[in-house]
Structure 1
Amino acid sequence: MSSRAHAWVAHLREGGTTPWLAFAGSLTEGAEPASRSLPGAQQLELLRRINVALESSAQTRGDHHRERTRLADRVLAAPAAGRGKADLPLVGLDGTTGFGPRAVDPEHVGAHELLRVASVLLADDLVGLGPDPVRSSWARPWRRRFRLVGDPVTASALREHLLAQGRPEGGPRPFLVAVGGPLDELLARTWTQRCFETGTKPFAEWLRFWRERDQLPARTDLVASVRRWNARRPFVRIVTDADRLPRQLGVRHLPEVRVPGADQAELARRIAAVVGLKVPRAERPGLLRTLQQRMPSSGAAPVAVPAREQEWVAASADRMGRNIARAGYPVVGDLADLAPRASTSSAVDDQQVLDLAIRMVVDPTWRTTAGQAKGVER
């Protein structure tokens, strides 16, 4: 039976896709296994699914054989990151005991366990790629000075866009522009952006953390964001109408900001946890910013606040609106726009996240430099 298991490993290394229980081969007489120990069921099943994805792509040509074998060896040697089970043995092997993890059929290993291995592969790819250079241009000192706070996804994207146009943030007496919107969307976007910066807890746990304290995260609380910069009232704008945001920044048009899907944010969260173990803390945001810019989209909807949290979100939005009115900050739009929209909750599905991870492992285009970063414009 051990010979059959080693033969299945060899079958997978050669691009095979036959499931374990359907595999009937064995090592040829005199052949030596690639390794004395067997990889875990997580690594083996992930490799089999990667082979299935490769089989349906153009990368099954002969000139990709060496790269495919190298990828297979990386998958089989990769550890499983984070909390979960140890490497699982294959069901049906002789000599198994009642101690240690229970033997499993690899086809029945959950997506969560496979993601623990896939996130290690993608984190290694990201660290090897390095951060993209930040695009910038000569500063235009005659333009309106600004500082962006509030909605982290929008603020981060527009900050980079304006920097590339010669509009760096800050300067003497800048207008502090706080980007607002429905509070449930601000909360979801705050969690999403944290996934692409330092990593964080799963969305449900993160929401519960703030709800139990009846507080809002720093970048979601617009009043706290303004006070953090000690901005004077005449130089503050609370913007809840996105169509009027360009004028507050002194430009005619702004690009549309793409909000990452729930599967993208969850995969980034898992990758961030591994990247944090491989590079110093100061280097993590640059790498994850590169991941955010390069990660392919699956078309999944952004994460949304579940219905059970909407009552707390509505009360928090009402309180934040009263605090803004009491502070007397100018509002561009309507404070009623802070009320949650109660959009349909989009749960983060592990299988969708795994599909995206396998797509990124199989398709190397997101790791290529051509057409991704145009360098620093001077």
Structure 2
Amino acid sequence: MSGRGRAWGWVAALRAGGTTPWLSWPTDGTGEGEPLGPELPGAQQLALLRRLNLHAAAAGRTVPAAIADRVLGAGVSGRGRSELALVGADEPGEPGPPGPAGSTGASGQFGPRPVDPDALADDELLRVASALVADDVAVAAAVPDPEPSLVERVRSVRRPWVRSFVVVGMPWRADAVRADLTARGHRPGGRRPTAYLLADDLETVLVQAWTARCFDQGGATWRGFVRANAGAGNLPPRADVARMARSAAYKYGAERVRVVLDDSLLAAELGVPRLGAPPRLGAHAVDLVRRVGEPLGLLVPSEDRPRLLRETLGARLDGLGGPPPSLPPRWDGWLRTQAERTRHDLAAARYPVLGDLDQLLPRPLGPDHQGSVAPVDAEVLALALGLLLDPVTATARPHAKEEA
């Protein structure tokens, strides 16, 4: 019996919605099939398709053939990554598929060893899934934004009686607040504006700094992000509220900086019913955005990546991904020290405050507290599988909503 024929039979079964593990596939010749292409798909792609079939079956659905073919033909994201060969597909002496540079192929002695797809870690499957989701997000780059309606154009015109102001501070929140205010006719800007600096308890500020980074440039995991900054005893620039206040004071004048720790007070001061908010993304959702951003950076200009991610993936994942990440207990002392320093610096600078500076301090743990939260690969993969089964499209671009 040909190992290749058995492998192709399994590929055909997966393409048709099968979920049988590779090591359980018949070895008596009944599971053989004809080649469906010049080369066998990699083990990562095969494992991902089987998991996608399981995900669809749990929802009473099947994976369309077109989506299955996308998965089987997908690349692997990540610098230096390559496809892994299927263990047992090449019998001794049988030529294997070409391996990476310096390799003699799956049956040679160089290069990655063939693997059982079901033994691959979720992280390996996410490399394939992230590249596929990035392809879908990139499609939005070629679709022009719809023309704003007459109502939207009228609402976005800056009212002459609106006070001059700008919104600064936490980037992830500030972007959403500015967009919402602009849609209401409260466009930031004007002569000698008041600078409203958005802030919150320091742990929330750190989470939003990591979130903004994931949308802008990807990079470090949540734990890596915290470890790099806390280990060095510093706050990252996007989470250093005192530094952001000094920057605003230098640009607009210290007398025109307001620290905002109560959104309702700022909404009342600007004459709007409420402030806009960014999508609510849990730890697993933000990590998926981080992963998708890497391959997306190879498909679209870097300046377009944050907007595309917000308008497609961010909107689609709103409310998903579990609770937001939180700091491991080992950094509690560092967090409190940094929060107290921030509160002291802002109080010493005598900036007017909308709210209470004590809001900067870590929030007390509630009765439902279950320890620190961090992204889990299995949960991130589950979100990615949902996006493969129901891809993000350019037709769902959100626009700022106005209350009636």
Q: TM-score, normalised by structure 1?
A: 0.88
Say if 2:118 is the partner of 1:107.
Answer: yes
Q: Give me the whole-angstrom Cα distance separating, in 1, the residues matched to 2:121 and 2:395.
A: 34
The equivalences for 1:234-273 within 5 A come to 234-255=255-276, 258-273=279-294
Q: Report deviation, 1:255.
A: 4.6
2:245 aligned partner: 226
**CA distance in 2 between partners of 1:218 and 1:248 (Å):** 28
How do 1:260-299 and structure 2 match up within 5 A?
260-290=281-311, 291-295=313-317, 297-298=319-320
User: Which amino acid in the other structure matches residue 87 of structure 1?
Assistant: E
- 1:258-288 Cα offsets, whole Å, 9 max, x none, are 4310011000000111111111111112211
Offset at residue 374 of structure 1 (A): 5.3
Distance 1:345 1:328, change over 3 A: same
Residues 275 and 256 of structure 1: CA distance in aligned 2, closer, same or farther (over 3 Å):
closer
- Give the CA deviation at 1:59: 4.8
How many residues get paired?
366
SS class of match (1:176): strand
Q: Structure 1 residues 296, 336: closer, same or farther in 2, change over 3 A?
A: closer
Report the CA distance shift for 1:237/1:296 in structure 2 as closer, same or farther (over 3 A).
Answer: closer
TM value normalised by structure 2: 0.83
**Helix, strand or coil for the counterpart of 1:223?**
helix
Higher mean C-alpha displacement, 188-197 vs 49-58? 49-58
Q: Answer yes or no: is the 8 Å Cα contact 1:81–1:274 preserved in 2.
A: yes
Q: Percent identity at matched positions? A: 40
SS of the counterpart of 1:292?
A: helix
Q: Show the counterpart of 2:344.
A: 322
The one of 161, 185, 195 equivalent to 2:204 is: 185
CA contact 1:303–1:348 (8 Å) conserved in 2: yes
Could you tell me whether the CA contact under 8 Å between 1:197 and 1:289 is conserved in 2?
no
Query: What CA distance in whole angstroms lies between the structure 1 residues aligned with 2:279 and 2:113?
Result: 44
1:39 matched to which residue of 2?
41
Asked if 1:55 is matched to 2:57, the reply is yes
Q: Which region of structure 1 is more displaced relative to structure 2, 281-290 or 78-87?
A: 78-87
Unmatched tracts of structure 2, length 5 or more: 93-106, 366-370
Q: CA deviation at 1:7?
A: 1.1
Contact 2:168 2:174 in 1 (8 A): yes
Distance 1:296 1:240, change over 3 A: closer
2:180/2:401 contact within 8 Å kept = no
Judge conservation of contact 2:283–2:321 (CA < 8 Å) in 1: no
What letter corresponds to residue 373 of structure 1 in structure 2? P
CA gap 1:23/1:294 in 2 versus in 1, 3 angstroms: same
CA distance in 2, matches of 1:342, 1:217: 23
Runs (5+) with no aligned partner, structure 1:
none
Aligned mate of 1:86, from 61, 82, 86: 82
Within a 5 Å distance, the mapping from 1:7-46 to structure 2 comes to: 7-24=9-26, 25-27=30-32, 32-46=34-48
Q: Considering only aligned residues, what root-mean-square deviation do their CA atoms show, in Å? A: 2.5
* In structure 2, C-alpha distance between the alignment counterparts of 1:237 and 1:261, rounded to whole Å: 29
- Of residues 294-303 and 126-135 in structure 1, the stretch that sits farther from structure 2 once superposed is 126-135
Alpha-carbon distance, 1:298 to partner: 3.0
Deviation at 1:193, TM superposition (A): 2.0
Give 2:220's aligned amino acid.
Answer: K
Instruction: Identify the residue that residue 367 of structure 1 maps to in structure 2.
Output: 393
Letter in 2 for 1:163: T
Match of residue 382 from structure 2: 355
Q: Partner residue of 1:158?
A: 177
The one-character-per-residue Cα deviations of 1:187-212 (angstroms, maximum 9, x if unpaired) are: 01110122122223111221222224
Which of 160, 171, 177 is residue 141 of structure 1 equivalent to?
160
Q: 2:305, 2:81 → 1: CA distance?
A: 27
2:95 aligned partner? none
Report 1 or 2 for greater relative contact order, CA contacts < 8 Å, sequence distance ≥ 6: 1
CA distance in 1, matches of 2:400, 2:194: 29
2:103 aligned residue: none
CA distance in 2, matches of 1:148, 1:330: 15
CA shift for structure 1 position 257 = 5.1
- Cα distance in 1 between the residues matched to 2:60 and 2:182: 39
